[in-house]
Amino acid sequence: MKLRTKEREIEIKIEDAVITVRSLPFSKLIELKEKFTEIHNDKEKVNEHKLTKAFFCEMVKDWQGIYDEEGNPLPCTEETKQIVWDFNPFFADELLRQADEKFKALREAEPGNLGNGVSGSSQKAG
Q: What is the pLDDT of residues 91-108, one digit of tens each?
A: 999 999 999 999 888 888
Residue 12 has pLDDT above 70, yes or no: yes
Residue 110 has what pLDDT? 72
Mean pLDDT along residues 44-70: 93
Residue 113 has pLDDT above 70, yes or no: no
CA distances from residue 83 to 2, 53, 86 in whole angstroms, order as listed: 39, 10, 5
Q: 83 is in which domain, residue-wise?
A: 9-106
Residue 117 in any domain: the answer is no
Residue 40 has what pLDDT? 83
Residue 116 in any domain: the answer is no
Residue 4 in any domain: the answer is no
Residue 2 in any domain: the answer is no
On whether the CB atoms of residues 34 and 44 are closer than 8 A, the answer is no
Tally of structural domains, the chain: 1
Of 54, 56, 33, 57, which is closest to residue 45 (Cα–Cα)?
Answer: 33
Residue 126 in any domain: the answer is no
Residue 122 in any domain: the answer is no
The string of pLDDT tens digits covering residues 2-11 is: 777 788 899 9
CA separation for the pair 39, 45 (Å, rounded):
6
Residue 61 in any domain: the answer is yes
